[in-house]
A and B are shown apart, each in its own frame.
Chain A
Amino acid sequence: MRIKNLHIMDFGILRNQTLAELNSGIVVVGGFNRAGKTTFLNILRHLFYGIKRSAALPPPAQEYRIEADLDVEEGREASVRINGYSQPEFFYAGGKTADSSLIIGEIDDFTYQRLFTINLSELCSLPEGVSGAEATRLQSVLLGAGLADIAAVPQICAELRKVAEGIGGKKGSPGVRLFKESNEAIRAGLLCREEALEQVAEFEEAQKKLGQCREEIATTTKQVRWAEAELTANEFINQYFGDYQEFMSLTELLNERENQRLLAGFGQVDLEKVARLHDAHRTALDEYRTVLSQAEMSLGLHFAQYRRILEQRGKIREGARQSAGVRQRLRDLATGLERQAQEEARIKLEIDEVNQDWNGDFARVKAINCDQIRLSEVRQSLAEFRALQERIVEERRVLGEGQRELEVTKKILPTLTGLEPRRYLGRFFVSTIAWALGGYLLTLVRLPLGFLIGIGGILASGLHLLFTFFHERELREQRRKVERDYRLKAETLQEQVKQVEVDEGKLSALGSKLREFQRILGLPEEKVNPELILEYYSRTSELRRRISQWEEEGERLKDIRTDLERELFSLWGLAVDLRYLGEEPVDYIGTGEKILRSVEEIAGHLEFLGKLEECERRLFNLRRQAVEVLPEGVNQPRSEAQDAVACALRRALRASEEVDAWIESYLKQGEKARKLKAQAERAENLKRGIRRGFSPRVRQAFQLTVSQKGETDDDWSILVEAWEDCSSPTEANRRCQEAEQSLARFRGRLDQLKENQTTLENELKKLATSEKLEEAQRMIDQARSRLEPLARKYAVHSLADFILEKLHKAFLKKTKGELLGAAGKIFADLTGKSYQQILPADDLLSPDFKTVTGGGEELDGTALLSRGTKEQLFLSVRLSRIQELRPALPVVLDDSLVNFDVKHTRQAVEILSNLARTHQIFILTCHPEIIEYIAQVNSGRSQTAQYWRIAEGNFACTGAKDLLAYLRGETLGLQL
């Protein structure tokens, strides 16, 4: 690739410079110091990679602006443009943007700037402006053959180490940096685990203690049981001491002979039943006595009749039942008679009110035959009579008014008479003639006036004639109308008069009928009084009805009285028969109450006697039961007692008293036997109670304690022995207290031991859990989980660093022999075979080389070489690398050959000229001899060098001679 045209618009002192048609081979730019050569070098250095702000470059006037036309590989044309600090822009011909990699390939800016743009300061082991890290890179670049990657290795390694050290320090120890936190957590987990493990030893210790504790518990438990047994046995002895003593005394009593007999004798008869019989008999006897005494007291003398009374009990009860009804009816009769008398008085009073003439005579009232008159008829007749009376009055009033109107009409008629037409026609003619005449007369005086008045007068007479005619006609019409009306009224009046006459006839007939009613009711007939007829009729009818009722009630009372007298007679007969009443009464009704009371008294006595009879029967039955229930021979009464019914009252009483004594005696014997039996049962119960209290627990207690004194299997014997051994309850009590004290002591000890056991068991249980171990494991696991990824990251970075180191070494080792071959050749040429080879240093990346002299001597390092040789060496290395790299970018040498001697300069120019076949080479110099050599070397070649002169920032294309002359100061004729 070559730069065809270069346009420098703004860069340091170079402004608006164009270098057109630049040579594809060597382009020599000659100029004095400060002419702008170094500025030009910087332009070429940055042309393909852009200008960085950090670069120490001459400033632009406004903005860096450079453009270049390029001939790229395969004959394509392109251009590059730099504006300010932006990245360079590449275009193909036609303006299409080009990818920089297609123009400048993979050659990076570092390589280009350090390899292709050479000034004097570059030709040493550590060029100016190259840092330590860059020195290694530079060395890699110089060594070439893929060492670009290797050059980056140290930097990558540094990065990787930085990451690794950030995680785990230099050595990746567990306790540092990021590992530290996890490591501490793991240590805590391990500590926790150790603590958990120590629990096992504690467990063993606790288990031993538990064993001892359990043994002690077993021993103490035995002691507690013995003490409990002692206490139980003594408590039993104490508790049943009284029972035992009572049992012994009862046994003694029951063993007496008499008691034995009684116990044996009484057994077959149910004493309870006898006692119940005795109670019943005595109750019945007492009641009998009471009732007998009451009966005697109540009946008094009548008691002698008690048998007859009992015989007549049916009649007596019937009479007594009737007496209440009879008494009530007697009262009703008396009341009825009283009401009858009152009603009679009231009727009489009312008769007097209606008609004093009757003198309160019921017969007269009854004689009035009201049945002949129907009330409806009376009422109708009275209504008609009143209506007719009213109508006649009305008709008379109307008739009077009609007569008065007729009179008035009659008076009006004469006023309605008018003129006859003939009359008022005559008047008209007169008037007309008069006016005609008058007019005529006046005509004579004054014709118009006479004529006017005559005509006017005739017209006025005509008008008057018309008015009169119509007026008269109306009067006539009115008169005709009044006359017709008068006639009609006169006719109506006559009809009304006739109607009045008819009605008065009817009124008269009705008056006769009403007078007939008055006659029937016994009223005066002279004058008809309608109001009186109706009231009289109703009151008379009412009186008649009441009189009739009064008479019926009188009949009914009479019947009642008759019935009562008959019944009272019957009752009187019963009382007389039982000697409660004497002579027959005159008025049964009057003495009715006395008879009734006698019958009721008898009935009362009959009740007492009935009770007495009932008691007698009950006593008899009980006596018979006693005879049946009680065994014979024991104080048995006489047999007559059994035949009590036949006995007189007193004797029956005595028999019952004997039987009562008999039963009582029997009961006393029985009660004694029962008591003995109860005592026997009590003794048996006491023994049973003692045996029941002798539970397995107590038996066990006795077996443990008391029975040890004398071996026996019989429980009762053990107990009797125990009681015999114990003198008194006090002694038993004392023994109990002692046992209690021992028991409390042993129990306290046992509780303490059990508590210890529980504590130990809990402790063991706690120690037996694996929770702490699990917790420790959890802590460790979690921390390791955190640690592991970090450790892996550390390891991977550290290993990557390690791999890169090895890669680095291996690569360099491998390429050591192949490296620098071409450079050695150039170096040999350049030094005229004084040196034949360049070798890499042992540390390939150290910025130094070994050399082999023409004599085969290997010189280690460049320090031994002269300055010129050293520069030749570094130039050789660069040129060989430039030859290797593609694409062939332009090479720039800025007075790089100045320290070479003539011979070596020519050699260098020769080599450069050869290189110019493939590369465009810019040689910037102020030394004319170099130009001279270039001119000489290229003179015979097909492609000669191109020469540009630069002065104060201005370029001019010139020839070799001119440039030489200029640089030698032979000419100042600058044609720029």
Chain B
Amino acid sequence: MGEKKRIRFIHTADLHLGSALKSVGQTSGRIGEILKKATFTAMERICDLALEEAVDFMVIAGDLYDREARSVKAGFFLQEQFRRLAEKNIPVLIIAGNHDPLGEGGNLVTFPENVWVFGGDETQCFTIYDQSGARGGEVIARVFGRSYKTRYEKEKVFESFRPQDREAWNIGLLHTALEPESNYLPSTAGELAKVEGIDYWALGHAHTGQIISREPYIVYPGIPQGRAPDEQGIGGCFLVDLLPQAEAKIEFVPVSPVVWRVEEVWLDSSPGLSPENLDDLLELFERQGETIMSGRDRKRPPEQSQEHVRPEALFGQNRKVVEGLTGDGQGVKGYIVRWVLKGRGEIHRYLSAQGEEVEEEILSALRRRFGPEHGVEEPFLWSESIRFSTGLPLPDLAELRKSDETFNELDLVIKGLRTEAGYKAAARRLGAVWEEAREGEGLEEQNAEKIQFRKTGGVNSLDFLIEEAKELVIEKIMERRTGR
């Protein structure tokens, strides 16, 4: 019985080539170009990495394109990139995901011979041969996969992955939400772990990079290039080294040329220094912008364990990132920042009366300050928008609660809303213009006519909206009390 040979491959997914970044319509010139090409640049960098590392193959776990509309431009772009890999005999194995199901039409462009797109009718197995022996040489790996034929696939496809040969590495290529009841290949991590013989589950669909399990490896690489504030942080792919009788080496390699950030700016961040006018406010934003640009804010300590890899957590740990950020021009070209102004202050009156003008003024000042016009080349900082979440100065609720029955009761009501039932009830009151974002669905599934919310996280979370509503209630009660 032979031993498995070391293999090295790239695992990526959810490139969504052809989809535009949210801010692309606002920009022009050099920044506009960078944003337009961002998803393409990310893919190009992944191919560069494959060539540089001379990997044995590359797997793409679905959603290579965006929707059925496999943008023709994206097709030609991929053809070119895959041709580069073909020159070095690097096979590329692709499954179609829910965003680029095979459908009835064929490929718009013909890919070179090194590219294998798994069919949608049945599970297929692609054999990888040792490069030194060319095709016909020793088998080093087998990749099992099946493409989405339509947008929804409810079959438990992974059950048909039945590797026979255990002397080579077996890799399962699956586009799933890892949810038992789902329209996207229902599955759970436990079920996958039970499939015998699969050494590495190369998953796609979730846009946040995660290593779900290490025995066997169940890995989401995440979206290489975020397209909206919901997909903030740097994205990349995994460079995987499967080693015989040793733990695999899974290296996250960031490739995003553009990084989304949601930055909170607090009115009352400094006691007694609450901004009183537009200039003060702008200064507040600029200070935070400076912090971002000066890099003090870039190297954040890992917030989570390796089991749930957040790409930001890998800052400072990866040579590629370090190289990229030290200015070889291949790293982060810019940040798109959505600012959220929070806190309480008298300036709220001004903001609530002239919020749009203020946003326009501050945005244009920030764009000038941190854009190419200001001599800032790369990385630039493009301010996408400002969300105002401010209020008039209020006594602290905790203080109020001490002596006030109303606020005691209010606190209890708010706590009640932050339960499952409370969220449901609150969600019904958001209005028909809101819809809950479904887990595992990207920007494309969203109903564009509605605004999506999650329970927690971000300005559009129920949590956040409830917090704002609570503050509004306090404000109103205090108004009554003070007779204003």
Contact = CB atoms under 8 A, between A and B. Distances in A.
Please determine whether chains A and B interact with each other in the same assembly: yes
Given A149-B481, A200-B70, A189 B448 contact: yes
B20 A774 contact: yes
A174 B20 contact: no
A802 B430 CA distance: 10
A791 interface: yes
Which of A774, A775, A778 has the largest count of B CB atoms less than 10 A from its CB? A774
B468 interface: yes
Given A156-B476, A792-B460, A799-B426, A784 B448 contact: yes
Nearest to B426: A799
B481 A190 contact: no
Interface string A148-163: 0110100010011000
A397 interface: no
A203 B108 contact: yes
A803 B468 CA distance: 11
A197 B69 contact: yes
A64 interface: no
B20 A811 contact: no
A171 B25 CA distance: 31
A958 interface: no
B410 A795 contact: no
A207 B108 contact: yes
Nearest to A788: B451
Contact of A806 (B69, B74, B75, B413): B413
Interface in A426-482: none
Contacts of B460: 788, 792
Nearest to B105: A204
A791 B25 contact: no
Interface string B105-141: 1101000000000000000000000000000000000
B473 interface: yes
A238 B192 CA distance: 83
Given A149-B477, A171-B431, A799-B469, A197 B409 contact: no
A896 to B, nearest CB: 30
Nearest to B385: A785
Contacts of B476: 156, 159-160, 800, 804
B431 A172 contact: yes
B69 A773 contact: yes
Nearest to B446: A784
A173 B108 CA distance: 40
A793 to B, nearest CB: 9
Contacts of B73: 768-770
A899 B24 CA distance: 79
B162 interface: no
A190 B444 CA distance: 12
Contacts of B429: 795, 798-799, 801-802
B331 to A, nearest CB: 25
Contact of B25 (A145, A156, A781, A794): A781
Contacts of A788: 387, 451, 460
A807 B67 contact: no
A185 to B, nearest CB: 10
B417 interface: yes
Given A777-B25, A803-B470, A795 B409 contact: no
Interface in A762-794: 764, 767-770, 773-775, 777-782, 784-785, 787-789, 791-792, 794
B36 interface: yes
B449 to A, nearest CB: 5
A62 B75 CA distance: 91
A796 interface: yes
Contacts of A784: 448, 451
A794 B465 CA distance: 10
B34 interface: no
A146 B404 CA distance: 8
A150 to B, nearest CB: 7
Contacts of A804: 473, 476
Main secondary structure of the interface of A (DSSP, over half): helix
Given A152-B480, A795-B431, A810 B409 contact: yes
B72 A806 contact: no
A803 B431 contact: no
Contact of A186 (B20, B410, B448, B459): B448
B18 interface: yes
A168 interface: yes
Contacts of B433: 168, 172-174, 179, 787, 791, 794
Contacts of A791: 430-431, 433-434, 451
A777 B105 contact: no
A174 B426 contact: no
Contacts of B74: 770
B72 A774 contact: no
Interface string B390-414: 0000000000000011100110111
Given A159-B476, A800-B473, A811-B406, A795 B434 contact: yes
Contacts of A773: 18, 20, 69, 71
A164 B432 CA distance: 12
Interface string A115-142: 0000000000000000000000000000
A341 to B, nearest CB: 118
Nearest to B67: A197
A699 interface: no
Contacts of A802: 425-426, 429, 469
Nearest to A157: B476
Contacts of B465: 792, 795-796, 799
Interface in B62-92: 67-76
A171 B106 CA distance: 44
B472 interface: yes
B469 A796 contact: yes
B244 interface: no
A152 B478 CA distance: 11
Contacts of B416: 806, 810
A807 B105 contact: no
Nearest to A202: B72
A257 to B, nearest CB: 75
A143 to B, nearest CB: 13
B432 A150 contact: no
Nearest to B411: A807
Contact of B72 (A160, A183, A767, A782): A767
B154 interface: no
A278 B36 CA distance: 93
B22 interface: yes
A556 B404 CA distance: 165
B108 A792 contact: no
Interface of B: 18-20, 22-26, 36, 67-76, 105-106, 108, 355, 385, 387-388, 404-406, 409-410, 412-414, 416-417, 425-426, 429-434, 448-451, 459-460, 465-466, 468-470, 472-473, 476-477, 480-481
Interface of A: 145-146, 149-150, 152, 156, 159-160, 164, 168, 171-174, 179, 183, 186-187, 189-190, 196-197, 199-201, 203-204, 207, 764, 767-770, 773-775, 777-782, 784-785, 787-789, 791-792, 794-804, 806-807, 810-811, 814
15 contacts: A196-B69, A200-B68, A777-B22, A779-B25, A781-B25, A784-B448, A787-B451, A788-B460, A795-B429, A795-B431, A802-B469, A803-B473, A807-B409, A811-B405, A811-B406
Given A168-B432, A774-B25, A791-B451, 13 more contacts: A200-B70, A768-B73, A770-B71, A777-B19, A778-B20, A792-B451, A795-B429, A795-B465, A800-B469, A803-B466, A803-B470, A810-B412, A814-B409
